[in-house]
Amino acid sequence: MHNLKVFILMLLLAISSRPVLAVSVNTLEVPDAELEVRKFEADGDRLLLGFPCDEGANAIEEKTAQMLAEDGIEVWMPDMLGAYMLPNLRDSLGEIPDQALLDLIESAVATGKQVYLIASGPYARVLLRAAADWEKTHEQKLAGVVLIFPRLFKGDPEPGKQPQYVDAVGTTKLPIMLLEGGHTPNRWGLTPLRQALSKGGSQVITKVIPQIRGHLFTGKDKNRTEEVVTSQMAGLIKVSLFYIQEFEQ
């Protein structure tokens, strides 16, 4: 009986000592639209701004955001496509107004936290565009960029020729951490991509995650390694932020 009391007491203490996490949906006025931003609030001084997440569509992204928030890293997941009623297609990304991206970053910077930008796949091109626009028009520095399996080719890469990248590549000075799957053709293009990203003045670190095919958040036929890495995505992102901070010192 005594043991049970002690157990219940310890359990209550453990529950009460966990940080209380608030998830809220805020609306931000942007040109010609209202942008919904899901915020996984945290007490720490770092804020991770996703570009442009599909609000509510992905449980894995949400779980990752929650895990990061538990570790003190605030996460914002804006629904950029939804705000402009754009279909989830690569072509839609170019239709997101520059000013909406700047307004969103401005709102994140206004929190006083260090703001990191993060995106995966083709969304990386929106992130790079936003980062470059911000640097051109604002003095306040962002902390860095995390690119997860970015897809930045301009068209299909022609066999036997150097790849061509979208115009946003090589336009920012921010430090960049780039994660790529070991089981993707893109891992073989990391050297030219790193060189292209560095042209704007960025320091770029690339890390290959072995046995991963990409599409961690959306793949339905994940192998065991992909399942493990997906469940530990928050850890990978924290390591990425650590490397970016090291750049700055």
Partner 1 sequence: MIKKLFIFTLLLVFSAASQATSLKAFGGNPTPPPLMLKDLEGKSHSLDANMGKVVLVQFWATYCGPCRKEMPTMNKMIKKLEAQGVPFKILAIDMGESAAEVRKFVDEVKPEFTILLDESGKSIQDWKVFAVPSNFIIDPQGQIRYTLFGGVDWANEELLAKVAALAK
Binding site for partner 1 (CB under 8 A): 153, 156-163, 182-189, 191-192, 213
- Can you name the residues that pair with 177 across neighbouring β-strands? 146, 205
| Cβ proximity to partner 1, 78 vs 214, nearer residue | 214
Cβ contact 151:124 at 8 Å: yes
- 46-50 vs 114-121, strand pairing mode: parallel
Shortest Å, Cβ 160 to partner 1: 5
| Cβ proximity to partner 1, 52 vs 181, nearer residue | 181
| Cβ proximity to partner 1, 33 vs 190, nearer residue | 190
Shortest Å, Cβ 186 to partner 1: 7
Closest among 115, 193, 184 to 154, alpha carbons compared? 193
Shortest Å, Cβ 228 to partner 1: 17
Instruction: Look up residue 165 and give its DSSP letter.
Output: B
- Give the dihedral sign, CA 30/90/82/141: negative
Closest among 146, 114, 144 to 46, alpha carbons compared? 114
Instruction: Look up residue 82 and give its DSSP letter.
Output: H
| Cβ proximity to partner 1, 66 vs 184, nearer residue | 184
Shortest Å, Cβ 176 to partner 1: 19
| Cβ proximity to partner 1, 97 vs 157, nearer residue | 157
- Give the angle 177-97-110 at the CA atoms, nearest 5°: 60
Produce one character per residue of 58-97: b if its CB has 16 or more CB atoms within 10 Å, e if not. eeebbebbebbbeeebbbbbbbbbbbbebeeeeebbeebe
Q: Return the residue matching tokens 């009391």.
A: 5
| Cβ proximity to partner 1, 182 vs 201, nearer residue | 182
Shortest Å, Cβ 187 to partner 1: 7
Shortest Å, Cβ 89 to partner 1: 17
